[in-house]
Amino acid sequence: KDKTKDHDEL
Amino acid sequence: MNFFRLTADLMHLLSIFVLLLKIQKTRSCSGISFKTQLLYAVVFVTRYLDLLKWISLYNTLMKIFFIASSIYILYLMKIKFRATYDPSQDTFRIEFLLGACLLLALVFNYTFTFIEVLWTFSIYLEAVAILPQLFMLSRTGEAETITTHYLFALGAYRGLYLLNWIWRFYTEHHIDWIVWVAGAIQTALYSDFFYIYYKKVLHGQKFELP
Which residues in A lie closer than 8 A to residue B66 (C-beta atoms)?
A: 10
Q: How far apart are CA B126 and CA B48, in angstroms?
A: 13
Q: How far apart are CA B49 and CA B51, in angstroms?
A: 5
pLDDT of residue A5: 59
Q: Region B28-40: what's the mean pLDDT?
A: 97
Of A7, A8, A10, the CB nearest to B119: A7
Provide the sign of the torsion angle of the four alpha carbons B30, B32, B35, B41, taken in this order.
Answer: negative
pLDDT tens track for B90-110: 999 999 999 999 999 999 999
What lies within 8 Å, CB to CB, of B39 at 6+ separation is: B94, B97, B98, B125, B128, B129, B132
Q: How far apart are CA B105 and CA B102, in angstroms?
A: 5
Q: Does B62 touch chain A (CB under 8 A)?
A: yes
pLDDT tens track for B145-202: 999 999 999 999 999 999 999 999 999 999 999 999 999 999 999 999 999 999 999 9
Tell me what ipTM this predicted complex has.
Answer: 0.85
Look at residue B6 and tell me whether its pLDDT is greater than 90: yes
Supply the angle between the helices B57-75 and B34-47 in degrees, to the nearest 10.
150
Report the C-alpha dihedral over residues B122, B195, B197, B36, rounded to 10 degrees: -20
Q: Does A3 touch chain B (CB under 8 A)?
A: yes
Phi and psi angles of residue B85, each rounded to the nearest 5 degrees, phi first: -95, 130
Note whether B73 and B37 are within 8 A (CB).
Answer: yes
Contact flag B9-A3 (C-beta cutoff 8 Å): no
How far does the CA of residue A8 sit from the closest CA of chain B (Å)?
A: 7
User: How many residues are listed for chain A in this entry?
Assistant: 10
Closest residue in A to B63 (Cα) is A10
User: How many residues are listed for chain B in this entry?
Assistant: 210
pLDDT tens track for B41-89: 999 999 999 999 999 999 999 999 999 999 999 999 999 999 999 999 9
Q: Does A5 touch chain B (CB under 8 A)?
A: no
DSSP B111: S
Of A4, A8, A10, the CB nearest to B116: A4
Q: How far apart are CA B165 and CA B176, in angstroms?
A: 9
Q: How far apart are CA B44 and CA B107, in angstroms?
A: 21
pLDDT of residue A2: 52
Q: How far apart are CA B41 and CA B19, in angstroms?
A: 14
